[in-house]
Amino acid sequence: MLKLGIPSKGRLMELTFDWFGARGITLRRTGSDREYAGAVDGAEGLELVLLSAGEIPRELAAGRIHLGVTGSDLVRDKLADWDRQVAELAQMGFGHADLVLAVPAAWPDVDTLDDLDAAAAAFRRAHGFRLRIATKYHRLVRDFLTANGVADYQLVDSQGATEGTVKNLTAEAIADITSTGETLRANHLKILADGLIHQSQATLYAARAADWGNGAAVTLAGLGHRLGFDPSAV
């Protein structure tokens, strides 16, 4: 049996159901909203597993599910060398959001990453500690800043309203997901001109570590034909 993990609630679950339904495979919850049980119609050998979007990268990496739908931002942030652990099968065309780097709008001379690097060095000289960037996406942000030569910063973890950390004086800048930028503007933040870290969307992934025996590879090949991906990518 091939296990497919999808988000267990919300708009992402509904749009995933719609995406598979448009391709002749019906996914549905069974039981109440508090039960993580589901069923599949129209695809022999496929089992539905309902998980939180954040759990799916971990379950894929461990090989406990064969396929998973989650945001590309979560896979890249949670999995080191993500492309060695999972194969990207299909971008699904929904769940779009940008991971961006934003600073206070009141910083008139900081509009680019080079400006941020200079401001961070000046901040450390003035305050004796590194400029703080609040984020939930430590791996993606750290790799991005390293690749662009930005130093003298520290990442601080934010699991709540990241946009409010600057106002609350727990960070000087942020890196967070945005769709429209309205919340950033409402919190008097601006996106750096070259501060786009990753453009995320819901994506179908396959686990390289999963057991593809006992008919799972055959089921994958059939799904590839129906869903429009190359099963040999796994």
The closest alpha carbon to 1, from 207, 217, 208, 209, belongs to: 217
CATH superfamily membership of 97-200: Periplasmic binding protein-like II (3.40.190.10)
Q: How far apart are CA 116 and CA 129, in angstroms?
A: 15
Beta bridge partners of 98: 178, 199
Break the chain into its structural domains and give their ranges. Answer: 2-96+201-233, 97-200
Look at the pTM and tell me if it is higher than 0.85.
Answer: yes
Angstrom CA distances, 223 to 22, 59, 101, 107, 184, stand at: 13, 20, 38, 51, 40
Residue count of the chain, please give it.
234
pLDDT in tens, 116-151: 999 999 999 999 999 999 999 999 999 999 999 999
Helices and strands counted in the chain (H then E): 8, 12
* CATH number for the domain running over 2-96+201-233: 3.40.190.10
Q: Say how far apart CA 65 and CA 56 lie, in whole Å.
A: 8
Report helix, strand or coil for 59. helix
3-class SS of residue 149? coil
Asked whether the predicted pLDDT for residue 37 surpasses 90, the reply is: no
189 pLDDT exceeds 70?
yes
Report, as an integer, the average pLDDT of 76-86: 96
Say whether 97-200 and 2-96+201-233 share the same fold: yes
- The 10s digit of each residue's pLDDT in 6-21 is 999 899 999 999 999 9
Cα(87)–Cα(89) distance, rounded to whole angstroms?
6
